[in-house]
Amino acid sequence: MYWEDPPQDREAAVRTLAMPKDTNGLGDIFGGWIMSHADVAGAILAYRRAAGRVVTVAVNDVKFLRPVFVGDVVSFYCDIDKVGNTSITVHVTVFSERNDGGVARHVRTATASITYVHIDLDGRPRPVPGTGKDAQPSKDPDGRPTGKQKG
């Protein structure tokens, strides 16, 4: 898990408002709604990295850490974990912003690792541009990816 608090150096890949129609039987936000937005957020970063079409091949290590409530502003931050030959794995961190008596709080609510495959027009895997020696993003001492590959 990379982020304890929302990163300050960028906007979220996706940001939206949790609505009553997206609740589960307990009245909290349905996990599938969170995953759907996480998939879209990661796909935006993967699409930019691949400079072309990508599809989701696997969703791994999903953790719902805290409930998301109706009215939360939900933000999805993404970091590229790994670039393979045709695949790109993105770590997604989800934060809920909620206002308690005039003070905004950010709560990390979920994380996931999502793998996308770069495909050609026939839907076949194709190499991600720039794979090879520069395939792995550099990491800072805390293991956080650095440089351009984030969103």
Ligand X SMILES: CC(C)(COP(=O)(O)OP(=O)(O)OC[C@H]1O[C@@H](n2cnc3c(N)ncnc32)[C@H](O)[C@@H]1OP(=O)(O)O)[C@@H](O)C(=O)NCCC(=O)NCCS
Q: Give the residue at shortest CB distance from ligand X.
A: 84
CB-count burial class (<10 Å; 0-12, 13-18, 19+) for 62: middle
Half-sphere exposure of 23 (CA within 13 A, CB side): 11
| Site residues, ligand X (CB under 6 A) | 55-58, 84-87, 115, 117, 119, 123, 125
Helix ranges, 2-150 (H): 31-50
Shortest reach from residue 48's CB to ligand X, in Å: 16
Q: Using the minimum distance from each CB to ligand X, give the nearer residue, 70 or 135.
A: 135
Q: What is the pairing mode between strands 73-83 and 54-64?
A: unpaired
Q: Using the minimum distance from each CB to ligand X, give the nearer residue, 66 or 124.
A: 124
Shortest reach from residue 132's CB to ligand X, in Å: 12
Residue 16: enclosing H or E segment and its boundaries? strand 14-17
Shortest reach from residue 88's CB to ligand X, in Å: 8
Q: Using the minimum distance from each CB to ligand X, give the nearer residue, 36 or 85.
A: 85
Q: Please give the structure tokens belonging to residue 142.
A: 């805390």
Q: Using the minimum distance from each CB to ligand X, give the nearer residue, 1 or 55.
A: 55
